[in-house]
Amino acid sequence: MNLRLFRSSALVSLKAREVLLLDQVSSHDVIDTAELELSRLSNYKLTPSSSQLKLIHIYHAVSKEDHRDNRFFVRALVPIGRPNTGMFQISEMDLFFTRILEALEVASAQHRTADCNHVFMNFSSSVTFTYDEVVAVLSGFIDGYGDWLSKLHVTETEMRISLEHEEGNVTPIRFIFESVSGFVVDFYGYREVSADDGTTILDAMDKKGPLHLQPAHQAYPTKDPLQYKRYQAHLIGTTYVYDVPQLFSKALDEIWTKARTIDPSLTIPTTLLEYKELVQVENDEYIEVDRAPGQNTSGMVGWLFTLRTPEYPLGRRVVVVANDITFKVGSFGPLEDDVFFRITQYARHLGIPRIYVSANSGGRIELAQEIMPLFSVAWNDEKHPEMGMDYLYLSHDKFLKLQETRPGAVRTVEIKHQGERRHKITDITGLEAGLLSGAGLIAGEASRAYDDIFTISLVTGRSIGIGAYLVRLGHRSVQVEGAPMILTGAQAINKVLRRDVYMSNEQLGGTQVMFRNGVSHLTARSDLHAATKILEWISYIPEFRDAPLPIFQGRDTWDREIGYKPPKSAYDPRLLIEGKWDDTSGEWLSGFFDKGSFQETLGGWAQTVVVGRARLGGIPMGVIAAENRTIERIVPADPANPASVEQRTMEAGKVWYPNSASKTAQAIFDFNKEGLPLIIFANWRGFSGGRQDLHDGILKEGSKIVDGLSSYKQPVFVYIVPNGELRGGAWAVLGPSINSEQMEMYADVEARAGVLEPEGIVEIKMRQDKLQAIMERLDSTYASLKRDTKDPSKTTEDRVFAATLLERRESLLLPTYKDIAILYADLNEYAFLLNDFVSALTCFAVVPEAWRQKAAPNPQCGRTQENTSIGLSERVLPAHRRWLSLRKPILGRPLTTALGC
Amino acid sequence: MNLRLFRSSALVSLKAREVLLLDQVSSHDVIDTAELELSRLSNYKLTPSSSQLKLIHIYHAVSKEDHRDNRFFVRALVPIGRPNTGMFQISEMDLFFTRILEALEVASAQHRTADCNHVFMNFSSSVTFTYDEVVAVLSGFIDGYGDWLSKLHVTETEMRISLEHEEGNVTPIRFIFESVSGFVVDFYGYREVSADDGTTILDAMDKKGPLHLQPAHQAYPTKDPLQYKRYQAHLIGTTYVYDVPQLFSKALDEIWTKARTIDPSLTIPTTLLEYKELVQVENDEYIEVDRAPGQNTSGMVGWLFTLRTPEYPLGRRVVVVANDITFKVGSFGPLEDDVFFRITQYARHLGIPRIYVSANSGGRIELAQEIMPLFSVAWNDEKHPEMGMDYLYLSHDKFLKLQETRPGAVRTVEIKHQGERRHKITDITGLEAGLLSGAGLIAGEASRAYDDIFTISLVTGRSIGIGAYLVRLGHRSVQVEGAPMILTGAQAINKVLRRDVYMSNEQLGGTQVMFRNGVSHLTARSDLHAATKILEWISYIPEFRDAPLPIFQGRDTWDREIGYKPPKSAYDPRLLIEGKWDDTSGEWLSGFFDKGSFQETLGGWAQTVVVGRARLGGIPMGVIAAENRTIERIVPADPANPASVEQRTMEAGKVWYPNSASKTAQAIFDFNKEGLPLIIFANWRGFSGGRQDLHDGILKEGSKIVDGLSSYKQPVFVYIVPNGELRGGAWAVLGPSINSEQMEMYADVEARAGVLEPEGIVEIKMRQDKLQAIMERLDSTYASLKRDTKDPSKTTEDRVFAATLLERRESLLLPTYKDIAILYADLNEYAFLLNDFVSALTCFAVVPEAWRQKAAPNPQCGRTQENTSIGLSERVLPAHRRWLSLRKPILGRPLTTALGC
């Protein structure tokens, strides 16, 4: 029974139930306070908040140890009666829970700093559901209220429900939902059992949570010191830096859950994530240590993670570096720069992926403080300081004192003023010099890192100035909604513009800007969602520089048939890549790649081309496909320019525009650095060559596609799709002779290729005179009339008449002969064949066993030097060659051979 | 006497003179036909054209050998009387010459194909000017009428004038202006002298022209066979391909003339240009041969040029590859692709610059012809062909015949139609397969060439599709006005749009589009102008890959003083680079670089940054300077989008926008590949961070600056200019720690640096409370009022009154204290010093003698292997290091040291 499905419909009838519920509440005159378990609040000094509802008790609690630790405890008795149906109960609970949160909202207005609030609900009656059913209901429930709970800083919700078994006996269960680190909800279920000494202890139902075998009525602990920082981070909308490992651990959980849907036989490892913090020791060296969270002495923290993923169940390593937004608001000072620099170098040294978790405030702004209480002012008019001042100086005695205590803190010029010795200040040099130079240091390193290793960023909080640049310099990025990337804050820009132009930083550099222009490759709803996407991305990437590609073989093999066949009409090219459920039969029509293996990136930008990564028979590949539908492109208005309006332009499918050419090139560069083979699903009529496109640099962007392909180091397969075409300028940037070492081209039997479309060729090469010649050859009437017009034996009159008839005949026949010409031109095209789409796939995927084996997961995780030394190119190239020889007898000539390359 | 100066004023009084001149003409009743030298037209069959003026005789002449060779001869007797003043004579000549050209215009309307027209003017009276004076007058004259002469296809103007000497005797001189190859005008002067046999022969006055020592009355030769092709090329507005060597020879002439203005002691070599054509022999090999022009068998021609330049008077080599627009309209077919590919490879093999002269029609469009007279049509209704057709087929006998003569020319499927054996055509495969694959071949090679050697293009004629891509793939380009770079012709686009949107190709991809978006680095008025600019550019470039930089030491040394000092107000940064004439004193205020050595590139695009190349003490360098004035940026409307309008936006100086960041990065990449050291005149407040800029990818473009600098292989000097500043985000992309191996930073004593401007820092770090504290410390009135407000001995009333006074005092003082805060913040900045701008230059230019000597011209032109093997980086790096140690004692700490990098 899927209880969760009932929930939303139940909500509809809520209004009707309300009266009943309130009645029930009011009828409870006597409350059993023992059921509120108030003894467990003994670590706190309590102040009850007034509540309208007798069943809901709210206490504002201040820790007896640390007065900063203040929180709310909500203790509620749930009066839900013995159920008739599941539906009934849930709608009641919904209403009751709403009441609790409303009450908390009112109470918490008095104590804004309250954090780690706690809700306890004790169900007064038992229910007849199984444990699993209740878990399903409650999980859905907590999910639905997630945002509200998070807003009210409720970090733990505890529910005590007695389950009634069929045989009549009852088991009290405690369900605990925790989201201390924010965004990630942990769930634990415990059964209450009586211990020998008579106390009640908790026994974990499923996974062993922190309260397993602990007394059920233990007092709630006071706040973890990290919780203050966590709270600060949550206020800014980001995960606290020391919760980043937990975030990725949760994300790994989701990755495995998804992997098991593909291969149920997979065993999920017990520990998904191990990590060591990277800490500086003497000599600027960084070592991996186990250190308690929160010991950081700068606003930048780094780790070495070992991730156990479906591709690398024994573990793969990544380096993570993250801003601590709670440390000097996450600004970049010399120390932060140094940590970022060295940890990135560490990742480059190991040749493994580097993840940057970005939430910061840009470069640190400082002002030397020592001179503040010392300087004097030379006034224009000593008696009227409001008349302005001339310069700042140190009096002679203060100058002497400063020379003693902080020599060099200031540069001065000695002057005499009415006999007084003054030291006019020319420079104050107290600032850390590294404040300015550090930005270049880390920018340069980030740029080199993108060239050298796999770099990706998780934009979890605002990323400003150098923070935004670090993300872009690493190229790949996942931006969480609500985390803007900007250069200057909205308020500062408003100040320059002298009017309130921008409402928020989000408006400047949020996902609606950065995803649409391709700075953000992916967006995410939450940090967890973002971490999951990063792990999905990393699943295509070798575990270290030049390592074999990670293979994850699911049910789909390379030699299966393809279910989806692209139609002649417009369609979504993603269907060709990943397949679809048939609209009528409900059957699965498989796509080119393994089911569920496609991750599209840069999806918000230049949508006339689709790019991403996918697996074919488990082998990861880069994918580029032409969109063939017309797409609306929206250029947002800039509030700073009153004349600007939102522009919507239609971009035709199968045509490269400056933006889509740029996207194509960028994807090629990324794939190449990631060591992926590449397939391009070609279907282009060429480049858009209007004035706007030429002005916007279509030649520049198109050239970059050539630059990318000509330096590509892995096999590239260009495949003109069924009912697709490749024309004109597209040949200059996709022709396999751009890089004959690596590129191969295929065309479906239903594909077309040529310089111009048949209509265009006819326009140039089969003009009227040629058509007339064909007419004369094929149409006897036309031919005989033509003869008549020239026949000297006829009278002039007859010849003129024949000419008139000839002209009429020509007009009559012309449309048909134009069709003939177009058909002739069309037949002339380079319709080189593979047998069909399915055979093409077979051809494509006959990757030799040699490559496949080498690309298999390496149980040593490639940590030995021998493995690292085998470059991918050395391995893939011969394999690629071998594969060519394998392919030929199967399929006859591919297009490239036919073209004579 | 500067006769040319009189000319324009003389024209003003032209109208008045007209009557007189016509009177004179009509008064000449008897013409001495011998003076027309008609005997020299004996190689032609002549038809006189009627002319209103008796003194002007026009003949339409057809060669007796080749009837295609037809031209006009204009024979005129110039009736100008013995002069009173030079002015009088010139105005008369102007009018007379206008009459000649008008008459020719009328006559030539009858013979549109006439080419190589000839004008002969015989002056009936002698003049008293010297030879040099007459040359000056006539040259200016021909210059002024150049366009008209060119339009009328006049390739030679001959004038016979007798010069009268003071002593009374007279010398007849023939002045011949030739522009056979178009655009370039050659001038020769000959004196008529009597030979021993009584004939008159010509004796060159100055340089020895082709008629030196030839009979004066020799018959005019008939047309050079190449002239037809030349004519075709000129019609399209471009130089004929085999005139390209002459074009560069002329350009070298201009280069030397300019070089002599800098160093008059230079000796101009006798031969400026030597060249060999690169011709394919067996085995696809190309060899250098002397071959007569016009022997090409494809539309692509290549040469190895040896250029004698001021930097390399013994010669430097470049490879030139050029389209022949007269060969299949300059389209790219397999042969052209192959020639381009191999000649580019040849240049890469030698490691020397490659110049591409582009004038073409894009990819060749072909249609197999063999099947055209053979196919039959399956009509829908045999009796009514106008009802349309079904398919094309070959009848059985034609099929059999074709199988014999051209097996495989067609693919067919045999079908039966009413008992008849038909072979339905499915494919016609007669086309050269290379048509499609060649584009990729040359695109890939062009892309690699840009990475490998110095590549530059001269866009002399329209460049379409792959032709435009080849230009862009080589990056550097000089576009001649009127030579568009496009992807699709205007007519073809109009057809797609179904309305006449574009008037011309020029409108699509002319200089007004391509120079403004940075595809064209330079524009030129003419092919000669363009060739000159290319040679100027090459003068900064080592003669071969990794060779020493070419030094051209003029009068300016590196250790001279700089005359121009940038003011605090806005100014043109070019003045700082190249100097200026002082507005008041008329004195030369020298700039940073050698006088006259600056060549700005990309000047039409993103004008808030200025880039180019210049010499310092003869050493070539890349230059990047921030514009500090506000610039208007114009985005043209696209006629294809009726809603689009021309957009004008103001871009502030000292701020990076997406376009100027992109330009900065592109210049850095180009300079790096060219092996140039780089100086950046920094003066930036940061990046523009509005929504539009973020949307337009400011982060992407800014990141490329980092990418470029972090991989720079030569020394980079960042110099914050006098009265300049460097703030905020600019530090992330210019900080010297981006590439500490190569980068150094300097700041003028009058420059400022910091994260924020003082106003911004005060906003954040010195809010009201801090100002109040300073006020309390410095202002006794304020302090005592404040004490009063808290003094418990006072009455409440007094305290309230004191508070009111305190508030008033605060308002009064606040403006001054804000100034104090801003000054305090300003003093806090990183105003690190070099002594001043001049010292900075000294510091900068102390290039060690070791480097300077190595960079001197190599008399062997670097053709020996030993020279090639010395990489620039090996040589420059240690020098750079040595220079660092030299610099320190001279100047104290540079900014970089101060910053602790």
- Per-residue pLDDT of B144-185, as tens digits, reads 888 788 888 898 999 999 888 777 788 899 999 988 766 567
| DSSP tag of A40 | G
B698 and A502 within 8 Å at the Cβ level: the answer is: no
Cβ neighbours for A876, distance < 8 A, ≥ 6 positions apart:
A677, A714, A715, A851
- Residue listed under structure tokens 């002024």: B144
Q: Is the pLDDT of residue B898 over 50?
A: no
* Mean predicted lDDT score pLDDT of chain B: 83
Residue bearing the bigger pLDDT, A9 or B674: B674
Q: Which of B623, B901, B887 is nearest to B743 (CA)?
A: B901
Q: Does B438 touch chain A (CB under 8 A)?
A: yes
- Per-residue pLDDT of A449-483, as tens digits, reads 999 999 999 999 999 999 999 999 999 999 999 99
Q: What percent of chain B has pLDDT over 70?
A: 85
| Residues in chain A within 8 Å Cβ distance of B435 | 755
DSSP string, B173-218: EEEEEE-TTSSPPEEEEEEEEE-TTS-EEEEESSS--TTTTSBTTP
So what's the pLDDT on residue A893?
Answer: 31
Strand partners of residue A263? none
So what's the pLDDT on residue B338?
Answer: 92
Residue A720 pLDDT class (50, 70, 90 cuts): confident
Residue B51 pLDDT class (50, 70, 90 cuts): low
- Per-residue pLDDT of A411-453, as tens digits, reads 889 999 999 999 999 878 766 556 677 889 999 999 999 999 9
So what's the pLDDT on residue B430?
Answer: 62
Q: What is the mean pLDDT of residues A281-286?
A: 76
Question: From CA A730, how far away is CA B469, in angstroms rounded?
Answer: 11
Residue B767 pLDDT class (50, 70, 90 cuts): confident
Q: What is the mean pLDDT of residues B221-226?
A: 82
Chain A nearest C-alpha distance from B507 (Å): 7
B831 and A431 within 8 Å at the Cβ level: the answer is: no
Chain A nearest C-alpha distance from B834 (Å): 14
Which phi and psi angles does A122 have, rounded to 5°? -110, 115
Q: Is the pLDDT of residue B834 over 60?
A: no
Q: What is the mean pLDDT of residues A478-503?
A: 91
Q: Is the pLDDT of residue B252 over 90?
A: yes
Cβ neighbours for B481, distance < 8 A, ≥ 6 positions apart:
B510, B511, B523, B524, B525
Reported pTM: 0.83
The region of weakest confidence among A747-751, A798-802, B219-223 is A747-751
* Mean predicted lDDT score pLDDT of chain A: 83
B733 and A469 within 8 Å at the Cβ level: the answer is: yes
Q: Is the pLDDT of residue B776 over 70?
A: yes
Q: Does B645 touch chain A (CB under 8 A)?
A: no
Chain A nearest C-alpha distance from B248 (Å): 27
Q: Calculate Rg over the CA atoms of chain A.
A: 36
So what's the pLDDT on residue A366?
Answer: 82
Cβ neighbours for A498, distance < 8 A, ≥ 6 positions apart:
none
Q: Is the pLDDT of residue A16 over 60?
A: no
Q: Does B642 touch chain A (CB under 8 A)?
A: no
| Residues in chain A within 8 Å Cβ distance of B716 | none
Of A387, A733, A764, the CB nearest to B365: A764
Quick one: which H or E segment has residue A548? none
Q: B212's torsion region: left (phi>0), alpha (psi -120 to 50) or beta?
A: beta
Residue bearing the bigger pLDDT, B17 or A540: A540
Q: Does B427 touch chain A (CB under 8 A)?
A: yes
| Residues in chain A within 8 Å Cβ distance of B779 | 385
So what's the pLDDT on residue B747?
Answer: 73
Q: Which of B381, B410, B442, B447 to mutate to test the interface with A (most CBs of A within 10 A)?
A: B447
Chain B residue with the nearest C-alpha to that of A430 = B828
So what's the pLDDT on residue B879?
Answer: 30
Q: Is the pLDDT of residue A52 over 70?
A: no
The alpha carbon torsion through A92, A98, A99, A102 (nearest 10 deg) reads 180
The region of weakest confidence among A459-473, A750-764, B380-394 is A750-764
Question: From CA B47, how far away is CA A614, in angstroms rounded?
Answer: 78
Chain A residue with the nearest C-alpha to that of B825 = A367
So what's the pLDDT on residue A729?
Answer: 85
A443 and B831 within 8 Å at the Cβ level: the answer is: no
Chain A nearest C-alpha distance from B827 (Å): 5
Q: Which of A426, A487, A893 to mutate to test the interface with B (most CBs of B within 10 A)?
A: A487
Question: From CA A595, how far away is CA A238, in angstroms rounded?
Answer: 33
Residues 467 through 496 of chain B touching chain A, CB cutoff 8 Å: 468-469, 471-473, 485-488, 492-493, 495
Question: From CA B68, how far away is CA B62, in angstroms rounded?
Answer: 8
Q: Does A409 touch chain B (CB under 8 A)?
A: no
Pairing of strands A286-289, A300-307: unpaired
Q: Is the pLDDT of residue A18 over 90?
A: no
Of B436, B468, B896, the CB nearest to A699: B468
Q: Does B690 touch chain A (CB under 8 A)?
A: yes
So what's the pLDDT on residue B869?
Answer: 24
Q: Is the pLDDT of residue A781 over 70?
A: yes
Tokens of B652: 């502030």
- Per-residue pLDDT of B300-333, as tens digits, reads 999 999 999 999 999 999 999 999 999 999 999 9
Q: Is the pLDDT of residue B11 over 60?
A: no
Q: Does B274 touch chain A (CB under 8 A)?
A: no
So what's the pLDDT on residue B745?
Answer: 77
Most confident of A791-800, B508-517, B628-637: B508-517
**Taking a C-beta distance cutoff of 8 angstroms, is the pair B164, B134 a contact?**
no
Chain B residue with the nearest C-alpha to that of A770 = B372
Long-range CB contacts (within 8 A, 24+) of B165-169: B166/B128
Residue B13 pLDDT class (50, 70, 90 cuts): very low
The region of weakest confidence among A729-733, A799-803, A866-870 is A866-870
Tokens of B436: 């499609």
B830 and A760 within 8 Å at the Cβ level: the answer is: no
What SS3 state is found at B428? Answer: strand
Q: What is the mean pLDDT of residues A622-633?
A: 95
End-to-end CA distance of chain B: 63
So what's the pLDDT on residue A21?
Answer: 43
A710 and B436 within 8 Å at the Cβ level: the answer is: no
Q: What ipTM was reported for this prediction?
A: 0.83
- Per-residue pLDDT of A876-886, as tens digits, reads 222 332 222 22
- Per-residue pLDDT of B443-474, as tens digits, reads 999 999 999 999 999 999 999 999 999 999 99
Q: What angle do CA A453, A458, A464 make, to 5 degrees?
A: 105
So what's the pLDDT on residue A82?
Answer: 56
So what's the pLDDT on residue A861?
Answer: 28
Residue bearing the bigger pLDDT, B361 or B150: B361
Chain B nearest C-alpha distance from A654 (Å): 15
**Taking a C-beta distance cutoff of 8 angstroms, is the pair A455, A470 a contact?**
no
Chain B nearest C-alpha distance from A791 (Å): 24
A262-279 as b/e, with b when 16 or more CB fall inside 10 Å?
beeeeeeeeebbbbbbbb
Residues 27 through 46 of chain A touching chain B, CB cutoff 8 Å: none
Q: Is the pLDDT of residue B895 over 70?
A: no
Q: Is the pLDDT of residue B225 over 60?
A: yes
B690 and A813 within 8 Å at the Cβ level: the answer is: no
Residue bearing the bigger pLDDT, B7 or B71: B71
Amino acid letter, A36: L
Q: B404: buried, middle or exposed (CB in 10 Å: 19+, 13-18, 0-12)?
A: exposed
Chain B nearest C-alpha distance from A809 (Å): 9
**Taking a C-beta distance cutoff of 8 angstroms, is the pair B161, B124 a contact?**
no
| DSSP tag of A650 | E
Q: Is the pLDDT of residue A779 over 90?
A: yes
Q: Is the pLDDT of residue B880 over 80?
A: no
Of A363, A371, A440, the CB nearest to B736: A440
Question: From CA B892, how far away is CA B887, in angstroms rounded?
Answer: 8
Of A689, A703, A733, the CB nearest to B493: A689
The region of weakest confidence among A188-197, A634-643, B617-626, B849-858 is B849-858
The alpha carbon torsion through A588, A594, A595, A601 (nearest 10 deg) reads -130
Q: What is the mean pLDDT of residues B832-837?
A: 36
So what's the pLDDT on residue B551?
Answer: 82
Q: Does A387 touch chain B (CB under 8 A)?
A: yes
Q: What is the mean pLDDT of residues B69-75?
A: 91
Residue bearing the bigger pLDDT, B166 or B383: B383
**Taking a C-beta distance cutoff of 8 angstroms, is the pair B309, B535 a contact?**
yes
A755 and B436 within 8 Å at the Cβ level: the answer is: yes
Residues 805 through 844 of chain A touching chain B, CB cutoff 8 Å: 812-813, 815-816, 819-820, 823-825, 827-831
Residue A813 pLDDT class (50, 70, 90 cuts): very high
Residues 553 through 582 of chain B touching chain A, CB cutoff 8 Å: none
Number of C-beta neighbours around residue A155 at 10 A: 25
Quick one: how far is CA B887 from the chain centroid?
Answer: 38
- Give the number of beta-carbon pairs within 8 Å between A and B: 398
Q: Which of B336, B513, B695 to mutate to test the interface with A (most CBs of A within 10 A)?
A: B695
Q: Is the pLDDT of residue A523 over 60?
A: yes
B816 and A386 within 8 Å at the Cβ level: the answer is: yes
Chain B nearest C-alpha distance from A820 (Å): 7
Q: What is the mean pLDDT of residues B369-386?
A: 90
- Per-residue pLDDT of B422-448, as tens digits, reads 999 987 876 655 667 788 999 999 999
Number of C-beta neighbours around residue A161 at 10 A: 23
So what's the pLDDT on residue B842?
Answer: 41
Chain B residue with the nearest C-alpha to that of A753 = B436
